[in-house]
A and B are shown apart, each in its own frame.
Chain A
């Protein structure tokens, strides 16, 4: 009843090909955009302080959604598994830092996009083994990338400009007379920039996936020999998936350091983070853009909220809540995978299906 395509007639091919062919979807997306662009900046999340909403929930969730989108392109759409996500985010962050210090007057958004391109190249190089090996063997190869890059972030002092601290840190960057990054920047400004980039990147991803390149990825994922027989070149398909995915991951790494944390050292890009991003993709749902959003939000927000509420409302000790949130997340992962192995995206699809028939399921 709420979600029916009945009566919505398409008279042009263009309408059929639209990203959201259903009127309900269009309205839903519009509402979400209005909430993200107007309501949250104006009112925040009820009950939570504005700084906390921005700094601990909204900005990181958006950044991790970009990461998850990137990893989902590789894992969910192209079927190439990678455990190097954390390190690839590091490539984005460190290259953005280098570009920023070499060209101090360059616009920071351009820096971020350039760092995405650098990461794409690095991703392609480490994606080369995927042409020969797959599955578990590819995991090992990407894990090697993770450890090699971590090593480089510590040992190659040029990457962090020989800082005594061994880390990278952002400085105040202006854009149109407004400080957009660095310690003096306003959380709201950073929020809008990250949100806008997320919207643009989502739009890009959804179109690429529905197009020729995306379909070649999915063919490779479903059966690479068959795909090769009908004319998909594994070399271009696999490497473009690695490049595209790394581009997203690199951008998110740069955003993480320069629009959220403000500074970082190698620890923010270690293998544990790679696993977290993998959880986000799997819980959200492989091969689904909506799933990327839901996975990132669930894995990130629930522990943060548990800790905050447990501490301020119930007066539990911080370390008890820390342990509890770890346990809770672990249990949540297991339960979700048992109840719905295809992730939250599948649950959302089922809900839509139910809404379509409601109130007369048959």
Chain B
């Protein structure tokens, strides 16, 4: 017993001492994932796509610029407080860029990023106002923000029979993420002549939406736009089908239109729409490489059917932007082991145009992402996809956001955000 105890103490001692030996020759890319909890179905796909891309780079190219990438996961369960703990645990470890995977977490760590000099890339989520690069030097929204997306969705509805005099239902998860696009609806409602019916779904109720859909049935909106995530999405689609709401007038944002949301419902979800900025399918050389180097040999947690699914591909695209930023940073600074500050420069100078996307094996995968100092959003366009009963089919071309509407809102929001923060770091762009 005593020996066992001494052994245990020694094992613990070695464990402790090896904790501090994390400074190796590698690029540390932390990723706040959620493979447990009510959002796990979605979070797992995102995390797999993200991690697999870096594993593939390590296998195929020996990392980025000859340095291996350590894509390390930190489990948050989509809880903001745990996310902050994750963030704290990477302080002083030379993390290159943070991927919170949650708007709630983003809002909480946004203020800390300038102090730690580690940029935050919230790919298509997070604080919309972070698009203003002069006010938010350390936050990036590539390829587009929630506000831009909302205007694109409204443009789509406008093209499908107009908005004037219509009633739009807005069904949203009642957390920071879901509430994010409300200012756009409030701004555009009177301008474009539509009325908005707000239907918040609390996190606890997301699998029991009968009362929410009762409201929708009573109020009879012409369209319903959904900002949902996790188990909320399939529940909403199921309820919509049950209350006979026309599914081709029910449109989700890009986090509410994945295979995990509709697959179980199959043909019942037929007609449901969702926006997206990444293409599905495996017909891209980059994804083929991921299957060849990582998925098939069994080097990751990905099962064979996962690549090509909406969220897997999107997680991968998140990794592509980061990998590209690291590469740009390496070229700009001339050193292999870059820092968070270098990657921030890399993100501002990223140039994922058609040619580069083709080089990466992602031709036609998404709209180009061209970084700049002042615009951390890139105002990317989205397209609309529709569930045909067995797969997602892209049904529109690229729909650009209403820049003239979004930009003043972004400027005002950015100003409001910093108005009560003394000593906020800004930058000048020319």
Chain A min CB distance to B300 (Å): 11
In the complex, chain A residues whose CB is within 8 Å of the CB of B158 = none
In the complex, whether A224 has a CB less than 8 A from a CB of chain B is no
Task: Give Cα distance in the complex from A51 to B85, angstroms.
Answer: 11
In the complex, whether A323 has a CB less than 8 A from a CB of chain B is yes
In the complex, whether A261 has a CB less than 8 A from a CB of chain B is yes
Task: Give Cα distance in the complex from A308 to B20, angstroms.
Answer: 11
Q: Which of B11-19, B316-324, B327-335, B377-385 contacts A (4 or more CB under 8 A)?
A: B11-19
* Contact, CB under 8 Å: B111 / A263: yes
In the complex, chain A residues whose CB is within 8 Å of the CB of B72 = 311, 318
The one of B20, B80, B176 that contacts A47, using a Cβ cutoff of 8 Å: B20
Q: Which of B206-214, B266-274, B284-292, B418-426 contacts A (4 or more CB under 8 A)?
A: B418-426
CB-based nearest A residue for B86: A318
In the complex, chain A residues whose CB is within 8 Å of the CB of B353 = none
Task: Give Cα distance in the complex from A50 to B175, angstroms.
Answer: 33
CB-based nearest B residue for A267: B80
Chain A min CB distance to B340 (Å): 14
* Contact, CB under 8 Å: B422 / A265: no
* Contact, CB under 8 Å: A166 / B176: yes
CB-based nearest A residue for B13: A47
CB-based nearest A residue for B420: A171
In the complex, whether A349 has a CB less than 8 A from a CB of chain B is no
In the complex, whether A137 has a CB less than 8 A from a CB of chain B is no
In the complex, chain B residues whose CB is within 8 Å of the CB of A56 = 85, 88-89
Question: Which residues of chain A from 227 to 286 have a CB within 8 Å of any chain B CB?
Answer: 261-265, 267-268
In the complex, whether A211 has a CB less than 8 A from a CB of chain B is no
The one of A52, A164, A323 that contacts B89, using a Cβ cutoff of 8 Å: A52
In the complex, chain A residues whose CB is within 8 Å of the CB of B81 = 261, 264, 267-268
Chain A min CB distance to B90 (Å): 9
* Contact, CB under 8 Å: A312 / B104: no
In the complex, chain A residues whose CB is within 8 Å of the CB of B421 = 171-172
- The 8 A CB mask of B99-111 against A (1 = contact, 0 = none) is 0000010011111
Task: Give Cα distance in the complex from A270 to B20, angstroms.
Answer: 34
Task: Give Cα distance in the complex from A357 to B214, angstroms.
Answer: 71
- The 8 A CB mask of B102-124 against A (1 = contact, 0 = none) is 00100111111011000000000
Report how many residues on chain B are interfacial, defined by Cβ distance under 8 Å. 56
Question: Which residues of chain B from 123 to 144 have a CB within 8 Å of any chain A CB?
Answer: 127, 129
In the complex, whether B84 has a CB less than 8 A from a CB of chain A is yes
In the complex, whether B244 has a CB less than 8 A from a CB of chain A is no
* Contact, CB under 8 Å: A172 / B423: yes
Chain A min CB distance to B68 (Å): 15
* Contact, CB under 8 Å: B89 / A318: no
In the complex, whether A196 has a CB less than 8 A from a CB of chain B is no
Task: Give Cα distance in the complex from A60 to B202, angstroms.
Answer: 27
* Contact, CB under 8 Å: B88 / A51: yes
The one of A104, A166, A183, A304 that contacts B112, using a Cβ cutoff of 8 Å: A183
Task: Give Cα distance in the complex from A244 to B12, angstroms.
Answer: 41
- The 8 A CB mask of B59-89 against A (1 = contact, 0 = none) is 0000000000000111101011100110011
The one of B20, B74, B107, B301 that contacts A263, using a Cβ cutoff of 8 Å: B107
Chain A min CB distance to B176 (Å): 5
The one of A101, A154, A164, A184 that contacts B420, using a Cβ cutoff of 8 Å: A101
In the complex, whether B7 has a CB less than 8 A from a CB of chain A is no
In the complex, whether B195 has a CB less than 8 A from a CB of chain A is no
The one of A48, A50, A166, A321 that contacts B16, using a Cβ cutoff of 8 Å: A48
Task: Give Cα distance in the complex from A169 to B107, angstroms.
Answer: 9
- The 8 A CB mask of B135-162 against A (1 = contact, 0 = none) is 0000000000000000000000000000
* Contact, CB under 8 Å: A304 / B85: yes
In the complex, whether A18 has a CB less than 8 A from a CB of chain B is no
Known: A312-B19, A322-B77. A55 touches B91 (CB 8 A): yes
In the complex, whether A182 has a CB less than 8 A from a CB of chain B is yes
A-B contact pairs, 7 of them (CB 8 A): A49-B19, A51-B88, A172-B422, A172-B423, A184-B115, A312-B18, A318-B35
Nearest first, the 7 closest Cβ-Cβ pairs linking A and B are: A47-B16, A55-B88, A319-B35, A51-B91, A322-B75, A183-B111, A313-B15
> What is A's interface to B at a CB cutoff of 8 Å?
46-52, 55-56, 101, 104, 154, 164-167, 169-172, 182-184, 261-265, 267-268, 304, 307-309, 311-314, 317-319, 321-323
> What is B's interface to A at a CB cutoff of 8 Å?
12-20, 22, 33-36, 72-75, 77, 79-81, 84-85, 88-89, 91-93, 104, 107-112, 114-115, 127, 129, 174-176, 179-180, 182-183, 202-203, 301, 413, 416, 420-423
